[in-house]
Structure 1
Amino acid sequence: MFARTRRLTLRPGWPEDAAVLAKLVAPGAVAPPGSSDGAEMVELLICAHEGGTPRLIGAIALAPQSGSHELAFWLIPDTWGRGYATEAAQAVVEMARHALPIRRLSATCAAGDTASARVLRKLGFRDTGARRADGPVVFELEVDCQPTTMPIAA
């Protein structure tokens, strides 16, 4: 599955991405979204196409999680604050809404991560008031499935 926004392309990872990803995810950094088995998971790389040449800047995923799907994303630090997380997450929420059989999304962020919380609120997620045992704040979004046209390339 692919998606294109004004400034981004969301696409599956390819074997030739491994070396670039290894450089982007430094030791001790937050790991990219993913799971060990990948069952029913939608995982896409985020490529910025501003400035001519596409550049891999992060990843975003929807993973099955306790009766819903969890949205997770990360971006390299030099792209923070430019709206890329919101743009990529909006595209994935639209995929969930129009192309996937998903009714509810959840997401978490660290208690002090105000930027990620702001991204989630812009997309309509609400803070549930719950905290996971390891500390992250839990957000949820009811997905109003609407059969409409969405620009997705196969």
Structure 2
Amino acid sequence: MFIRSERLFLRPAWPEDWAELHGAIDDAAVVRNLARAPWPYRPEDARSFVSREPVTRYPDFLVTLPGAEGARIIGCAGIVAAEDGAAELGYWIAREHWGRGYATEAARAVLSVARALGHDRIEASHFLDNPASGRVLRKLGFAPTGEHRPRRSEGRGTVVTSVVYHTRLRGAENGDGGGDGTGGGDREPMRHAA
């Protein structure tokens, strides 16, 4: 599955992507904000990630930035099955690309795929000391649940407090006022190819 947004191209990971992926994520400032990525992030971790079998209902994508030199990997975004069975949004963007709206754009694209796959309620969380991710989630139409959960950070090697959010992907299209994960009037055109 492939997604084209206004500035980005999201695609599956291929085994030959491991070195470029490793170069993008091999940054303690990025990994410390992720739950599942270890630190240090080794070449073997990148090889393992790009070699995983895809799960149709829970897709993840490399976020690439097309340019004159081709499309460079700048991050990753996807939906995973959380421990409690909920669908959970996750994303990261390489530090040199922070502050440009790429996380919001990539996550919005993934939410459109989640809706097409039949997901209704999506959860997301961020570590308490990463409020920038909370701003991204609010732009996407997520609302805080009021819950703070202890969550293991593999990159930090410890449990960290996370702030939990959720959104409904169905409802607004049916006129019942539910959140649609697009941030209200902040919609961006999305072009898909599957």
So what's the TM-score if we normalise by structure 1?
0.86
Q: Per-residue displacement from partner, 1:105-129 (whole Å, max 9, x unpaired)?
A: 0001011212110110011100111
Larger Rg: 2
The residue number in structure 2 matching 1:112 is 129
SS state at 2:92 partner: strand
Distance in 2, matches of 1:131 and 1:53, equals: 41
The residue number in structure 2 matching 1:127 is 144
State whether residues 7 and 66 of structure 2, in contact with CA within 8 Å, keep that contact through their aligned partners in structure 1: yes
State whether residues 25 and 75 of structure 2, in contact with CA within 8 Å, keep that contact through their aligned partners in structure 1: no
Identity of aligned residues (%): 41
Does structure 1 residue 77 correspond to structure 2 residue 95? yes
Does structure 1 residue 152 correspond to structure 2 residue 192? yes
The residue number in structure 2 matching 1:56 is 73
What is the number of residues matched between the two proteins?
149
Q: Per-residue displacement from partner, 1:67-87 (whole Å, max 9, x unpaired)?
A: 420000001000000000010
Distance in 2, matches of 1:57 and 1:20, equals: 9
Q: Per-residue displacement from partner, 1:17-65 (whole Å, max 9, x unpaired)?
A: 0111122222645129x7x886542110000114553110000110112
State the one-letter code of the partner of 1:131.
H
State the one-letter code of the partner of 1:141.
T
Distance in 2, matches of 1:120 and 1:41, equals: 19
Question: Unaligned 5+ residue runs, structure 1?
Answer: none
Point out which structure has higher relative CO (alpha carbons under 8 A, 6+ apart): 2
Question: Unaligned 5+ residue runs, structure 2?
Answer: 32-36, 39-48, 152-160, 175-189
